[in-house]
Structure 1
Amino acid sequence: MTGQRIGYKRVSSVAQNADRQLADLKAPVSKTFTDKASGKNVDGRPELRRAIEYVREGDTLVVHSMDRLARNIVDLHQIVDALTKGGALRFDDKTVECHGGVAVEFVKEGRTFTGDDGSDATLMLGVLGAVAQFERSIIKERQREGIALAKARGVYKGRKPKFTPEQTAVVAQRVAGGESPTELAEEYGVHRSTIYKAVAAARAEADEA
C-alpha cells in the first residue's frame, strides 16, 4: 500500500475524549475522521461514511481497535470486506459503493487486512472480532452488576440532569443570541458538551411543538 494513511476514531458520547486513540502511531495519518456517537450498527456514524467515501485504492484506514470500527462481528466483516475487496455498505438512506484495494489497520490488535491475506486472515479477523465483542460484553455486565449492588445498598441515584427544562431553554436562547458556549459552560460550571446538549434538546422540543 503506497497511498494515504487515513485515521478513524469513535467514542460513544460527545463527552468522551478521542485524543488517546491513534496517539502513538509509528506512521502518522494524513487525515482523521471522528464520530462521537454509539456504534451499535453502521447507521448513525456519519464520519465513518465520510472516511469510507474519502479513501481510495492504495490507502490504509487506520483504526485504534476493532470495536471502534464495528460493534459486532457481522459489521466488522462487512466493513473490512467492502474496503479491501469491494462491495456496498448501507448508511441510513445512502449506500456507499466501495471499490476495494483499501487496507484496514487495527492498532490495538496489531493486524492489517488487505483482502489478499487468505483464509487464515479471515479466520483471525473473526477470532479477534469475537474477543473484542466478548471483552465489551464483560465490561457492560460488570457495570450492570455494579449498578445493581449500588441500588441494593440504596446509594445509586442514577444520573442527574445538568439543567432543568427552564435552564435548558435559557441556555439555548443565549447561544442563539450569539453567546459563546465555552463561556456559558464556565458560567454554569459544566462541560461544553452539556451546553450543546441543551441547545439540541431545545431544538428538538421546538420541532415537536
Structure 2
Amino acid sequence: MTTYAYIRVSTVEQNEVRQVETLAGRASQTFTDKASGKDTNRPALQELLATVKAGDSIVVASMDRFSRSLMDLQKTVEDLVTRGVSVEFVKEGLKFSPGSKDPVARLMLQIMGAFAEFERTLIRERQREGIAAAKASGKYLGRKPVFDAAKTAKLKEYLQRGLTPTEIAKQMAPISRASVYNKMAELGYRRQTKYAKAAVGS
C-alpha cells in the first residue's frame, strides 16, 4: 500500500511550492505535471495512473489540480476507486475510497468539479477577449514558440544520443517534459525507449 501525491501547475513559469507544502509528508512519491488541466493527456498523470494498484492512495492538494474538466474528474476518480485506489483532495476535505458510497462526497465532487470547469471557461473567455482587443490595437504578437530552430536542433541531437524525454527536459530546462513530447510528436517521433530510432521514416 503506497500513497502517491499528484501536483500540477499550468505552465513552466508557475510555482508548485504551495502544493508541495500542502502535501508534505503525506506521500512516498510525487508526480508533477506542468501542463493544462483541460484533459488527462499529461505525462506525469498518465505515469501515475499506470503505477497505482489496488490498495494504493493518491493525494492531491485540490480538485482543480487533478482536472478542470468535470467529466474527466468524475471518470478518473471513479476508475481509480473501481481499481481499488483511494483518492483524497486536501483542500475540499474529500476522500473517495473503494466500497464507499458517500452521497455527500459524490455531490461535492460534482459541484466542485463543475465550478472548476466553469472557472476555466471564464478564463478562456477573458483570454479571447484580451487577445481580440490586443489584435484590434495592433499589439498582439502571439505566443513565443517554445522550440526555435536552435532548440529544435538540440532536441534532435539529444534524441539521436538516445536520451529520454525526461532527461531531455532536464537538459533543456525550463522546457517541460510535456513540451518535449509535443515537439517529438510534431517531428514524427513515436514514444519508444530508444527515441533516436523512433523517427518516422528513419
* Same fold, TM-score > 0.5, yes or no: yes
- The answer as to whether partners of 1:168 and 1:202 remain within 8 angstroms in 2 is no
| Structure 1 residue 136 displacement after superposition | 1.5
- What residue is the counterpart of 2:175 in the other structure? 193
| Structure 1, unaligned runs of 5 or more | 87-97, 186-190
The 1:169/1:68 distance shift into structure 2, 3 A limit, reads closer
- What residue is the counterpart of 1:45 in the other structure? 42
* Alignment of structure 1 residues 88-127 onto 2, 5 Å: 98=83, 100=84, 102-114=85-97, 116-127=100-111
C-alpha distance in 1, partners of 2:115/2:155? 43
C-alpha distance in 1, partners of 2:51/2:185? 34
Cα deviations across residues 149-189 of structure 1 (Å, max 9, x unaligned)?
A: 21222111112346653x345434664579x979x86xxxx
* Alignment of structure 1 residues 23-102 onto 2, 5 Å: 23-25=21-23, 27-42=25-40, 44-84=41-81, 86=82, 98=83, 100=84, 102=85
Cα deviations across residues 87-132 of structure 1 (Å, max 9, x unaligned)?
A: xxxxxxxxxxx2x2x3211123232222525222211110111111
Q: Secondary structure at the residue paired with 2:139?
A: coil
The 1:73/1:177 distance shift into structure 2, 3 A limit, reads closer
| Structure 1 residue 39 displacement after superposition | 4.0
C-alpha distance in 1, partners of 2:147/2:57? 43
> What do you get for the CA RMSD once the two structures are aligned?
3.8
The 1:146/1:60 distance shift into structure 2, 3 A limit, reads same
TM-score, with length taken from structure 2? 0.69
- Count of aligned pairs: 185
- What residue is the counterpart of 1:156 in the other structure? 140
| Structure 1 residue 192 displacement after superposition | 3.9
TM-score, with length taken from structure 1? 0.67
- What residue is the counterpart of 2:117 in the other structure? 133
| Structure 1 residue 74 displacement after superposition | 1.9
| Structure 1 residue 9 displacement after superposition | 2.0
- The answer as to whether partners of 1:41 and 1:71 remain within 8 angstroms in 2 is yes
Larger mean CA deviation between 119-128 and 12-21 belongs to 12-21
Q: Which has the larger radius of gyration?
A: 1
- The answer as to whether partners of 1:8 and 1:61 remain within 8 angstroms in 2 is yes
| Structure 1 residue 13 displacement after superposition | 4.7
Q: Secondary structure at the residue paired with 1:40?
A: coil
* Identity value in percent: 43
C-alpha distance in 1, partners of 2:157/2:34? 25
Matched, 1:7 2:5: yes
Structure with greater proportional strand content: 1
